[in-house]
Amino acid sequence: MPNAAPRPTACLALADGTLFYGQGFGAVGDTVAELVFNTSMTGYQEILTDPSYAGQVVTFTFPHIGNTGATPEDDESVETPAAAGLVVKWDPTEPSNWRATDDLVTWLKKHNRIAIGGIDTRRLTRAIRQQGAPHVALAHDPEGNFDIEALVAKARAWKGLVGLDLAKDVTCAQSYRWNEKTWAWPEGYTQREGEGLRVVAIDYGAKRNILRCLASAGCDVTVLPATATAEDVLALNPEGVFLSNGPGDPAATGVYAVPMIQDVLKKDIPVFGICLGHQMLALALGAKTVKMNHGHHGANHPVKDVETGKVEITSMNHGFTVDSQTLPEGVIESHVSLFDGSNCGIRMTDRPVFSVQHHPEASPGPQDSFYLFERFADAIRARRA
Ligand SMILES: NC(=O)CC[C@H](N)C(=O)O
C-alpha cells in the first residue's frame, strides 16, 4: 500500500476562497498579505530581504528554493526580511554553498517568517496572472489545525496595498553614511576611499546593493530617513540626490515625499530614482501612477532604452507603474518594458534628472543596467567641471 500523504501543516487561503495545502516550515502562525510571483532562479534571500516586499507573500516559480542557504552578507535590508512569507514547490534541501551560514528553514524561523512547501506553484502563478495579485492568508500549524473560514475572512478583510504608505515602517530611524562597495572576488565587500561625490540618498526602504553601487560609482553617500524635508536634504549641500526603492503605494508615500522632491528640483541638482523613487519623481513632476494587475517581479525582464534602442535584461519588483500618458512636457519616457509596454524610465529633457522602474543594482539579477549609476556620477562630475 502506498504511504498516506502527510497531513498538511500549512494552508494558503486566497480571498476568493481557493485553498492550497502544503507542508509548513519557518515560523508558526499566520499572516495576511498580497501574493505575487517572482520568476528569479537565484537570489531568494535578496528578494525576501528587499524592503519593497513589505506587505507581500512571494511565490517562486523556480521550484528549488533554499539550495544556497542563507548568509548575512546577502541581506538587502538591515532589519528582518520584509516579505511576509513565501510559497515554494519543493521543500528546501540541505544547502550546498561555501558562503552559507544558515539553512533557509532555520533562517526563516530566526526571522519569524512563514513558508509553505509542496505547492503547485504553476497553478498558483496562472491564477495570479488571470485574476491579479490576490489578497491571501498564509497559516502554518505543526498540528495541521486550520480555521479555514477565518483565514478566508482575514484575506477578504485585508485592505490591500493601494493607499498604503509602508516606507515609514521600513526606513532607517536615523541618518548614516555609506561607503561600502559592491562584492568582488576575492576580497568581498570593501570600502570606498578618498573624496567622493556628495550624494544624499533618501531611504524609502533602500536595498543595500543600491547604496553599494552608488559607492562603487564614486559617491560618498549620506542616507536620510523617508520623511526628510528638502531643508534636511539641502543642509548637507548635496551634489546629487538619490530616491530609493520601497514598499507600498507611491501615491500614499508621495504625500510627504513629493513636496520634498519638488523643492529639491528647484535647485537644479542631479536627481536619480529607482522603482518607488522613480514613481515618486514622476508624481513630483506631475504624472500619475496606477496599480498593475500582477506587477513585475523577476530577474529576466527585457527593457528597451528608447533613445538608443538598446535592450537590457533587468531585475524587476513593482506592482505600481507610472502612466506614461500623463508625463508632462519636458519629461520623456526613456525606458519601456518589452513584456507589456509599461513605463520603465523617465528623464527631464533639460537637465540630469532621471529615474528607472527596474533595478539596476540587480541583487539578484543581471548587471546590464549598472551603467545608470555611472550616468548619475558622470552628471555630478560634469556639474563640478
Ligand atoms: N521595488 C519598489 O520600489 C516597488 C515600488 C512600489 N512599492 C511598487 O510596488 O510598485
In a domain, 271, yes or no: yes
Residue 16 neighbours by CB distance under 10 Å: 13
Distance of alpha carbon 83 from alpha carbon 170, whole angstroms: 11
Is the model's pLDDT at 80 over the cut of 80?
no
Give the per-residue pLDDT at 1.
52
Q: Does residue 192 sit in the same domain as residue 100? A: no
* 248 annotated binding-site participant: yes
Does 352 share its domain with 318?
A: yes
Amino acid 16: pLDDT: 96
- Say if 1 falls within a structural domain: no
Q: What are 309's three cell numbers?
A: 534602442
Ligand 1 contact via 77 beta carbon (within 6 Å): no
Is residue 91's pLDDT more than 60? yes
Query: Does one domain contain both 236 and 332?
Result: yes
SS3 at position 293: strand
Report CA torsion sign: 49, 55, 61, 63. positive
Which of 125, 157, 189 is a domain's end point? 157
Is pLDDT at 78 greater than 90 in this prediction?
no
Instruction: State the CATH number of the domain containing residue 224.
Output: 3.40.50.880
Sign of CA dihedral 222, 223, 228, 229: positive
Nearest atom (ligand 1) to Cα of 317: 1
- Residues with catalytic annotation? 275, 359, 361
What pLDDT was estimated at residue 40? Answer: 97
pLDDT score, position 81: 75
Beta strands in 219-310 (DSSP E): 219-225, 240-243, 271-274, 288-305
Indicate if 328 and 246 belong to the same structural domain: yes
Whether 218 shows a pLDDT value over 70: the answer reads yes
Same domain? For 179 and 311 the reply is yes
Q: Tell me: do 215 and 362 sit in the same domain.
A: yes
**3-state secondary structure at position 222:** strand
Mean pLDDT of the chain: 96
Q: How far is the CA of 276 from the centre of ligand 1 (A)?
A: 5
| CA-closest residue to ligand 1 atom 7 | 247
pLDDT of residue 341: 98
Helix (H/G/I), strand (E/B), else coil: 282: helix
User: Is the domain of 136 the same as that of 193?
Assistant: no
Of the pLDDT bands very low, low, confident and very high (cuts 50, 70, 90), residue 6 is confident
Q: What is the ipTM of this complex?
A: 0.98
With a 6 A CB cut-off, is 363 part of the ligand 1 pocket?
no
CA distance 274 to 244: 5
Identify whether 3 is part of a domain: no
Closest CA to 356 of 269, 240, 272, 291: 272
**Length, in residues, of the chain:** 385
C-alpha cell at 243: 530616491
Task: Give the separation between CA 76 and CA 211, rounded to whole angstroms.
Answer: 10
Same domain, 306 and 176: yes
**Could you identify the atom of ligand 1 that is nearest to the CA of residue 247?**
7
pLDDT tops 70 at residue 176: yes
| 3 state SS of 232 | helix
* pLDDT value of residue 221: 98
Question: Is 141 within a domain?
Answer: yes
5 in a domain, yes or no?
A: no
Mean pLDDT on 11-24: 97
Q: Is 279 annotated as a binding residue?
A: yes
The strand pairing partners of 281, in sequence order, are none
- The domain boundary, picked from 99, 130, 157, lies at 157
Are residues 208 and 148 located together in one domain of the fold? no
Q: Is residue 281 part of a domain?
A: yes
**Whether residue 191 is found in the same domain as residue 107:** no
In this prediction, residues 202-210 reach a mean pLDDT of 98
What pLDDT score does 147 carry? 97
Decide: 246 in ligand 1 pocket, CB within 6 A.
yes
CA distance 268 to 13: 50
* 276 annotated to bind ligand: yes
pLDDT confidence of residue 2:
59
Cβ contacts of residue 130 below 8 Å, gap of 6+? none
Q: Is 52 in the pocket of ligand 1 (CB under 6 A)?
A: yes
Q: Give the dihedral of Cα atoms 109, 113, 117, 120; nearest 10 deg.
A: -170
Instruction: Write the DSSP string, 77-144.
Output: SSSS-SB-EEE-SS-------TT-SB-HHHHHHHTT-EEEES--HHHHHHHHHHH-S-EEEEEE-TT-
Number of domains in the chain: 2
Distance from Cα 279 to the centre of ligand 1, integer Å = 8
pLDDT tens across 273-300, in order?
999 999 999 999 999 999 999 999 999 9
- What residue numbers bound the domain in which 330 lies? 167-384
Residue 309: which pLDDT band, with cuts at 50, 70 and 90? very high
Asked whether the bond before 186 is cis by omega within 30 degrees of 0, the reply is: yes
Phi (first) and psi of residue 300, to 5 degrees: -140, 35
Query: Which pLDDT belongs to residue 79?
Result: 65
Strands 331-337, 288-305: parallel, antiparallel or unpaired by DSSP? Answer: antiparallel
- CATH number of domain containing 151: 3.50.30.20
Give percent of the chain above pLDDT 70: 98
Q: How confident is the model at residue 357 (pLDDT cuts 50, 70, 90)?
A: very high
Judgement on whether residues 46 and 78 belong to the same structural domain of the protein: yes
Last residue of a domain, one of 157, 191, 212: 157
User: Is residue 206 domain-shared with residue 245, that is, in the same domain?
Assistant: yes
